[in-house]
Structure 1
Amino acid sequence: MSSTIASRRYAKALLDVAEEGGYVDQMVNDLDAVREVVAESRDLLTMLRSPVVNGDLKARILKEVFNGAVSGKTMLFFELLCRKKRAGLLADVIEEFSALRDERGGVVNVDVTSAVKLNDEQSRKLINGLSVYTGKKVRARLSLDEHLIGGVKVQIGDTILDNTVVHQLERLKHALGEEA
């Protein structure tokens, strides 16, 4: 079984149990804290992915690192991953958990890149328009790229909506090149 499929299955099971138990918010907080620690600690991630370190030791290390920082239910999940020899998937499971939660909640993550900083009204109008376009609540991550000259580029999953001056110039160049 590929790691992506396994990660998604564990994430789905965790989300299902958290929803049934009514502790999704607690699980989200726990996993956000774990995500930060794992992202900052290359050694921890390496240890989790190492086939040389046995599952019991991985579980003890996770318990030591996150004791008091996460709930008992989250620790039980970590122990399950370690027992099933899937501790190396922890970071991927957390990402899949977030994606599934967003999917179930009707939330879509959108990357918006603009040439200049958008003011609050522009951001609000753009987000509202994207919400209508997607039919979902939009969580936008705004960034700047001065090389765009003007306009905005929006990425929604695999879809890119490019309304930048640079893109328009490239299209014009291509169109003129074909006519010549």
Structure 2
Amino acid sequence: MQNPRLAGRYAKSLIGLAIEKNQLDQVYNDMLYLQSVCRESREFVVILRSPVITPDKKRAILESVTNGKVSEMVAGFNRLLILKGREASLPEIITAFIEQYKVIKEIFVVKLTTATEASESLKSTIVDKIRATTSLQNIELKTEVDPDIIGGFVLQIGDNLVDASISYDLNMIKQQFMSNDFVYKIR
């Protein structure tokens, strides 16, 4: 992130305006669209950050990408960024906006890592268990596949980590063998 304070301030301003105009969910969806554009097109981000390309050209490119796909508020916000010379920070502003939106809406991101693709029933079971055992109600479950964990799962809820993977269990057994004086002397 180039300038997180700047991104946070612009995101906070946009959230404030969106709340004032009662368009927060629409602006959030627009930001998700812009985030997908930034992720899918590296060239788009390079153009925004290029000092060689003129602001007028950047505005035309940004408007052609977002034409009819984002609200007038977000289109105006994009024009403001270009006017102020802050268009290079658009990806960071989008990320900051999404994070602040989730805080406002009390959406908690939970990361589930499994050795193979998790089924929908497993995902819903895990979300239900989290809701039953914690005060978290709005949960966004992100899944990741990591064959190195061999089996089981790793669940991250904020700063808390639940490692129920086979690789973790094997490492714990290895540590127990290494710390056992009797087994250590046999070698």
Q: Please report the TM-score for the alignment, with normalisation by the length of structure 2.
A: 0.83
Structure 1 match to 2:40: 40
Q: CA deviation at 1:104?
A: 1.1
Task: Show structure 1 runs of 4+ deviating over 4 A.
Answer: 116-121
Structure 2 match to 1:153: 154
Structure 2 match to 1:135: 136
Deviations 1:96-131 (A, max 9, x none): 111111111111111111235555554333212333
Residue 135 of structure 1 aligns with an amino acid whose one-letter code is L
Query: In structure 2, the residue corresponding to 1:101 is in which secondary structure?
Result: helix
Structure 2 match to 1:26: 26
Whole-angstrom distance in 2 between the partners of 1:177 and 1:149: 22
Structure 1 match to 2:124: 124
Gaps spanning 5+ residues in structure 1: where? none
Deviations 1:1-47 (A, max 9, x none): x6111111111111111011111122122222222222222221101
Whole-angstrom distance in 1 between the partners of 2:157 and 2:66: 34
Residue 3 of structure 2 aligns with an amino acid whose one-letter code is S
Paired residues in the alignment total 179
Q: CA deviation at 1:56?
A: 3.4
Structure 2 match to 1:69: 69
- Between stretches 146-155 and 114-123, larger displacement belongs to 114-123
Structure 1 match to 2:166: 165
Residue 175 of structure 2 aligns with an amino acid whose one-letter code is H
Gaps spanning 5+ residues in structure 2: where? 182-187
Q: Please report the TM-score for the alignment, with normalisation by the length of structure 1.
A: 0.86
Structure 2 match to 1:11: 11
Structure 2 match to 1:106: 106
- For the pair shown, which has the larger CA radius of gyration, 1 or 2? 2
